[in-house]
Structure 1
Amino acid sequence: MVDLKGKVAITGVATAGCGEAPGMTEIEILGAAARAAVADAGLKMADIDGLCTANLNVAMWPLNVIEYLGIRPSFIEGTNIGGSAFVAHLVHAALAVEAGLCRHVLVCYGSNQRTGKFGRRERGIARNTLDPAPYELPYKPFNPPSSYALIAARHMHQYGTTRRHLAEVAVAARGWAQLNPEAFSRDALSIDQVLSARMISDPFTVFDCCLVTDGGGAFVVSRADRSKDAPHKPVYLLGHGVAASHRTVSCMPDLTVTPSVESGRRAFAMAGLAPKDIDVLQIYDAFTINTILALEDLGFCGKGEGGSFVEGGRIGPSGSLPVNTNGGGLSCVQPNMYGAFATIEAVRQLRGACGPRQVKGARTALVNGNGGNAAASQSTAILGVEETLS
């Protein structure tokens, strides 16, 4: 296994256009976040010689970004494995920097899916007609909710997980969002409101499903020895893992187990850490079941225990395990692919820059990305401050 622990650091982060950005194109939103992240790293766009980016709707998207930003990268990565891509890009960037292919890699994303001409539903219908899902398409699923609802229903049947357990996840996320002025949904939310809300795909109500927003996110990855002079204290990559096992829910080996079992194991092994060593988690919560599955598969509780684990606000602002401290995709921002935003929140927490939602003394953070209509790809990154390198 390649040991990347402490070899690279995230030196700049930024978001732009989160929530609603009327009149802006996807690439304009991306560009605003990218320029802000580069400035946050104390760099100029001319210093960027590596690029990682992806887009679900445009072929050869990295070329669009290169042209728009006016950069000339010597390393280009555009692999798209769904929403987990931008957490996966972190290791691509680290390998390129460590190999000397480039000095500073910009990882960036942007979407106008809420206010753009073609919304999420229209794009989803178009993708469903093209996706290689011959055993599912005849039933006309409303994906991704239908696939994740099937996963949730199986977990409930097999382990006794309840709709109230799912609601606990949504309420915890909203509690964090209420402490975050950048969050899109900040109204009070109760478990009863989640349970009585409009049903989207049984067992999910509207509050079990992530937001539909615009937004751009970007971060800069630099070699560790080049990060010492950055304006903010660097946040180091301690461990990383990527895994996938299927494409469609009908081919998922076990509806209650995601590939994060593998990606998490690899990340913890590289970092030399265990779940008990993690101070804050940022989990890709496309749906409430994602958070429960990740907590189980990453080892924070046993398989089948995720529902009872989140009871009583355990993962909320007053709980013992801070999860999705910006409000997550359920309440903060979700412009179709959330991985970059989870990474950015982890960095901000480790910088100590989160104001009322700051987790006191946070030194380590785990970011888990989820991709595909059915938890198909998972990427796990463990980040830490300088004191965690020794």
Structure 2
Amino acid sequence: MKDSFPRGRTAIVGAATFGMGEAPGFTNMELAARASVSALAQAGLTPKDVDGLFIVTMDDTMSGLSFAEYLGIRPRLTDNCRTGGSSFEIQASLAALALDAGQCDVVLIAYGSNQRTAAGKLISSNRPSPWESPYRPINPVSSYALAAARHMHQYGTTKQQLGEVAVAARKWAQKNPDAFMRDELTMEAYMAARQVSSPLGVRDCCLVTDGAAAVVMSRADRARDLNKRPAYLLGAAAETTHREIAQMADLTVTGVARAAQRAFAQAGVRPADIDVVELYDAFTINTILFLEDMGFCPKGEGGHFVSGGRIAPGGELPVNTNGGGLSCVHPGMYGLFTMVEAVQQLQGVCGERQVQGARLAVAQGNGGVLSSEAVLVLGTEETL
């Protein structure tokens, strides 16, 4: 079957965040609305210009209807796909198809969560399982700990190599004024951090924060009039492999492997062409698995690949340049924040953390327990 995609025929013309870290007093919808209005304003638009609405919130299974009502709009197309943190990359893929087909003209993709100030703990979407619950896992972390333990056993990946991911993320966060955790993280402090679910410690786990993000999409023929530097969607693909970690065929290979292969083929690029990589680093093992599965290094060599500051500021492959879910922000679902950071890097507006000359970027989303993976390839006008 031919895997076609409207390469470069749609673009992101606005990308914004709001309430990063802590935003007391805001509801999920209010947070999402603030980010949305900001993203729309970047393109000279208002909510009433939106005729394609994509949103997910943690507390509303009909968030598409609720958010349309909140914004006072009547979109022609509404979707609230719920695959966890990969929802937003999947929504961008669907939005590109809808825009290219002329079903809508302006698409808003939004998310907001007051998880930290409202609940104060990580919210898990995992339902009770008759097969896994008797073992009392601390999910989602225990599921990711299984993947980490298997990778360590099979390939000799070390705890210190996981630490390289956490330390690199913190170094990027220190360059980002919006990041929630900006204090120094040394390898010694990482190694001494308390265990949560062996082999993962607290510094291997994502933050629990508030935050909202939004992006605005249009067709490419209009994008140049809405933003001086749009980020064009060159490729997009997703794959779902399982629901529960016990059903994952190989704990060291994720759906990113085939999704990235398809997205890169659609975009006509290779991993070596990518200038900046924004991954869903809910846990340190994610970054290693996803870099391998995307083809940045062979399977089993991810631990070695991330060592020596390769993915940190000044390294040869900038990864999670905002600080990622480990050090910047993680309000329940992080996927839309990878898209915002990728777009802003391509627009050259990231200040001290800016990757100079960035022309091609990857934004990746992860849902469930390595269950649903989605990959976007974005590029500047020069890449069309």
Does TM-score exceed 0.5, indicating one fold?
yes
- TM range, smaller chain: over 0.9
Distance 2:120 2:327 in 1: 19
Aligned counterpart for 1:213 among listed residues 193, 196, 209:
209
1:66 matched residue in structure 2: 68
Tell me if the contact between 1:13 and 1:41 (Cα under 8 Å) persists in the aligned partners: no
Tell me if the contact between 1:145 and 1:209 (Cα under 8 Å) persists in the aligned partners: yes
Amino acid at match of 2:293: D
Distance 1:64 1:296 in 2: 39
Amino acid at match of 1:243: E
Whether 1:94 aligns to 2:89 is: no
- Give 1:235 deviation, angstroms: 0.7
* 1:171-205 deviation line (CA, Å, top 9, x unaligned): 00000000000000000111111111011111111
- SS of alignment partner, residue 192 of structure 1: helix
Whether 1:356 aligns to 2:357 is: no
Distance 2:302 2:161 in 1: 8
- Give 1:59 deviation, angstroms: 1.7
Amino acid at match of 2:306: V
Whether 1:57 aligns to 2:59 is: yes
1:7 matched residue in structure 2: 9
Tell me if the contact between 2:13 and 2:216 (Cα under 8 Å) persists in the aligned partners: yes
1:381 matched residue in structure 2: 376
* 1:324-344 deviation line (CA, Å, top 9, x unaligned): 000000000000100110000
Distance 1:320 1:203 in 2: 28
Amino acid at match of 1:80: R
- SS of alignment partner, residue 56 of structure 1: coil
More deviation, 159-168/63-72: 63-72
Identity percentage of aligned residues: 56
Q: With structure 1 as the length reference, what TM-score do the two structures score?
A: 0.96
- SS of alignment partner, residue 363 of structure 2: strand
Aligned counterpart for 2:32 among listed residues 30, 33, 36:
30
* 1:118-157 deviation line (CA, Å, top 9, x unaligned): 3434x43xx54x34x3210111211110000011000000
Q: How many residues of Structure 1 are paired with residues of Structure 2 in the alignment?
A: 382
Distance 1:185 1:385 in 2: 30
- SS of alignment partner, residue 229 of structure 1: helix
Tell me if the contact between 2:28 and 2:57 (Cα under 8 Å) persists in the aligned partners: no
Structure 1, unmatched stretches of 5+, are none
2:121 matched residue in structure 1: 120
1:79-158 to 2 correspondence within 5 Å? Answer: 79-116=81-118, 118-121=119-122, 123-124=123-124, 127-128=125-126, 130-131=127-128, 133-158=129-154
- Give 1:46 deviation, angstroms: 1.1
Aligned counterpart for 2:283 among listed residues 282, 287, 296:
287
Distance 1:181 1:75 in 2: 36
More deviation, 136-145/301-310: 136-145
* 1:290-333 deviation line (CA, Å, top 9, x unaligned): 00000000000000000000111100002110000000000000
Whether 1:319 aligns to 2:315 is: yes
Q: CA RMSD in A?
A: 1.0
Structure 2, unmatched stretches of 5+, are none
